[in-house]
């Protein structure tokens, strides 16, 4: 696949709401998205440093659609989910999706070495995917197998730069807390 580029002068800095409502919901509903700039990519054959030229690059961030899957293993490592799923809210405070953080580890699970590669995986709420125009149930259409488009996610992958921890522009304080956790047993909230 060739590199996906935006026209000169255009930048891709979507909010979480825009990723879910304007891109992911349209993808799941089989509606066209203009501009159609986010490519489909099966994430797990690729290590994060191999995404350049395969996903939509904006600065040091890569965006792509992928299928939601349990297989989170690449040739050189694996993605490990951290923290808890966070809701994605609209400006009207309506929940439209969920976001999950993962960290890439080099080596074999569960003893790999943690890297600075982060993935934010955005998915629709299960009720959002069932709100499509068609009310027929997939189990009744056995003669014509269809892809389950509600399983699409949008992934945003980037490498966290440890040298720039003071500028705070990339991650919120809550994001920093979730990214610093390897499992939920280590959570301790300040008083």
Q: Whose CA is closest to 35, among 15, 2, 5, 75?
A: 5
- For the cut 60, the answer to whether the pLDDT of residue 31 exceeds it is yes
- For the cut 70, the answer to whether the pLDDT of residue 181 exceeds it is no
pLDDT at 45: 85
Domains of the chain: 16-124+149-161 (2.170.150.80)
- For the cut 70, the answer to whether the pLDDT of residue 69 exceeds it is yes
Q: Whose CA is closest to 6, among 48, 35, 39, 49?
A: 35
pLDDT tens readout for residues 2-27: 445 567 788 888 999 999 999 999 99
pLDDT tens readout for residues 82-121: 999 999 999 999 999 999 999 999 999 889 999 999 999 9
**Average pLDDT of the residues in 156-177:** 64
Residue % of the chain over a pLDDT of 90: 51
pLDDT tens readout for residues 121-142: 999 997 433 333 333 344 444 4
pLDDT at 137: 42
Looking at the chain, which runs of residues are DSSP E strands?
56-58, 61-67, 77-89, 95-106, 113-124, 152-159
Q: What is the pTM of this model?
A: 0.72
Mean pLDDT score of the chain, rounded to an integer? 79
pLDDT at 168: 45
171's CB contacts (< 8 A; 6+ apart) are 160, 179
């Amino acid at each position: 696949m060739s590199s996906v580029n935006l026209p000169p002068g255009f930048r891709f800095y979507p909010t979480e709401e825009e990723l879910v409502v304007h891109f992911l919901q349209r993808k799941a509903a089989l509606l066209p998205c203009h501009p159609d700039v986010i490519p489909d990519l099966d994430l797990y054959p690729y290590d994060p440093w191999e995404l350049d030229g395969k996903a939509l690059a904006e600065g040091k961030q890569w965006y792509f659609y992928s299928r939601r899957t349990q297989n989170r293993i690449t040739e050189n490592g694996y993605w490990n989910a951290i923290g808890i799923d966070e809701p994605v809210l609209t400006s009207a405070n309506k929940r439209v999706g969920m976001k999950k953080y993962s960290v890439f580890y080099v080596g074999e699970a569960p003893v790999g070495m943690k890297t600075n590669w982060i993935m934010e995986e955005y998915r629709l709420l299960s009720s959002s995917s069932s709100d499509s125009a068609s009310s027929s149930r997939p189990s009744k259409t056995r003669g014509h197998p269809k892809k389950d488009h509600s399983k699409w996610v949008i992934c945003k992958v980037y490498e966290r730069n440890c040298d720039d921890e003071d500028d705070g522009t990339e991650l919120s304080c809550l994001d920093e807390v979730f990214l610093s956790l390897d499992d939920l047993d280590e959570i301790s909230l300040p008083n």
